Amino acid sequence: GNSVTQMEGPVTLSEEAFLTINCTYTATGYPSLFWYVQYPGEGLQLLLKATKADDKGSNKGFEATYRKETTSFHLEKGSVQVSDSAVYFCALSESTGANNLFFGTGTRLTVIP
């Protein structure tokens, strides 16, 4: 079956620190992988995605590389800002359509000045 295991939070970092949020997955086929972000009081927003092995998704300074050999899709950012404080969700989909998304539990990130 499909599942996503995500690094437990909460994570608290100082501004300009390096961020890594780990995500590993189990899938029966060749999924697409996603990171969603939920800012306080808002809906989930797609942050970045990768659709095949070795693809790197990037957006707003965040990056994640689809690693088939380790079944991982870790989220990284070189220098976090206070405005990055949010909950981050890793997800996979083996086919298109929002009815086929499998999510991790979410990791709450708090960045302090």
Partner 1 sequence: NAGVMQNPRHLVRRRGQEARLRCSPMKGHSHVYWYRQLPEEGLKFMVYLQKENIIDESGMPKERFSAEFPKEGPSILRIQQVVRGDSAAYFCASSPGPQEGYTFGSGTRLTVV
Interface size with partner 1, residues (CB under 8 A): 23
The smaller minimum CB distance to partner 1, of residues 1 and 113, is found at 1
Enumerate residues 11-40 that contact partner 1 by CB under 8 A: 36, 38
Site for partner 1 in 45-74 (CB under 8 A): 45-46
Q: For residue 32, how many C-alpha atoms fall within 13 Å in the half-sphere facing its CB? A: 15
Q: Which is nearer to partner 1, 8 or 16 (CB)?
A: 8
**Residue placing its CB nearer to partner 1 in the complex, 65 or 103:** 103
DSSP letter for each residue of the chain: --EEEE--S-EEEETT--EEE-EEEE-SS--EEEEEEE-TTS-EEEEEEE-STT-EEEETTEEEE-BTTTTB--EEESS--GGG-EEEEEEEESSSSGGGEEE---EEEEEE-
- Here's the x/- map for partner 1, 87-106, by CB under 8 A: it reads as --x-x----xxxxxxxxxxx
Give the footprint of partner 1 on this chain (CB under 8 A).
4, 6, 36, 38, 41-46, 89, 91, 96-106
